[in-house]
């Protein structure tokens, strides 16, 4: 077991934050959790500890959104998302997580700036696109495998469609429920699930589940307009955090 009190001081709020994001805000700011934990333990260990907790949180959230996800969109995004996980597995030893973080930061912030200049609140919903769906969901699967950072790429495809907030969150929840379950297999064969990591995951599961239900409670009390403004805000915030982490990692 990890006995350093500082780890739990950081990990508990980080996991509750991820749960809130998963339960109510389409993963909009859950991406901050692994970087926070990585302040006190190696990033690979942080990702390994988080994955079993994410799987439990997924199944806690999916029941609430079982009728709200979009099956047409899911048929577009899921195959490429799984392909991104496979790519992450094959390139695990060669991919630079820092370079990927910088790329995600650029596209996340650039996307929000583009939508802001186009007055996104007044713009009509964007149509579905198989090409865009394949590209962004594959990037979501890849970045999810490496750092549980799949939320921004998927949101870049889904947000312009201006789905009802419950349907946006539900589609995101179903997508990552499947993606995270699939990730368990390569994480196991890559030797990331040590006994120590699994014990810590089990200890922290209640914090994640509590966060999910807190997120469900908050989403029902936030208007559609405020919901989308919060998602865009957190997309910029996480983009800045990813960019900082990526540049810092490359320089050190």
For residue 25 the two structure tokens come to: 């805000």
Residue ranges per structural domain of the chain: 5-251
* Least confident interval from 1-15, 34-48, 164-178: 34-48
4 Cα distance to chain centroid: 26
What pTM was computed for the model? 0.83
Give the per-residue pLDDT at 122. Answer: 61
135 burial via Cβ count (<10 Å: 0-12, 13-18, 19+): middle
Give the per-residue pLDDT at 118. Answer: 63
Q: In the chain, pLDDT over 70 holds for what percent of residues?
A: 92
Tell me the three state secondary structure of residue 29. Answer: coil
Cβ atoms of 17 and 53 within 8 Å: the answer is no
Give the per-residue pLDDT at 31. Answer: 66
Tally of CB atoms within 10 A around 182: 18
Give the per-residue pLDDT at 53. Answer: 95
Name the residue with tokens 């599961």.
205
Cβ atoms of 162 and 119 within 8 Å: the answer is no
């Amino acid at each position: 077991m990890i006995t350093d009190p500082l780890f739990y001081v950081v990990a508990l709020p980080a996991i509750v934050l991820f749960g809130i994001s998963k339960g109510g805000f389409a993963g909009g700011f859950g991406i901050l959790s692994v970087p926070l934990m990585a302040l006190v333990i190696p990033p690979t260990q942080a990702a390994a500890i988080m994955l079993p907790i994410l799987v439990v949180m997924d199944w806690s959230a999916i029941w609430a959104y079982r009728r709200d996800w979009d099956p047409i969109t899911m048929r577009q995004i899921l195959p490429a998302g799984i392909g991104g996980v496979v790519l992450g597995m094959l390139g695990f030893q060669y991919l630079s997580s820092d370079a990927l973080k910088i790329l995600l930061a650029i596209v996340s912030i650039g996307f929000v700036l583009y939508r802001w200049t186009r007055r996104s609140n007044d713009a009509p919903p964007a149509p579905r696109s198989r090409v865009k769906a394949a590209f962004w969901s594959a990037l979501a699967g890849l970045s999810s495998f490496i750092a549980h950072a799949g939320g921004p790429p998927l949101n870049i495809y889904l947000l312009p469609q201006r789905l009802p907030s419950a349907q946006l969150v539900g589609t995101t929840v179903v997508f990552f429920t499947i993606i995270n379950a699939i990730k368990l297999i390569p994480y196991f064969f890559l030797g990331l699930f040590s006994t120590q990591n699994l014990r810590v995951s089990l200890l922290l599961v209640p914090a994640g589940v509590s966060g999910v239900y807190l997120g469900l409670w908050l989403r029902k009390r936030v208007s559609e307009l405020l919901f989308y403004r919060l998602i865009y805000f957190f997309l910029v915030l996480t983009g800045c955090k990813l960019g900082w982490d990526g540049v810092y990692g490359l320089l050190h």
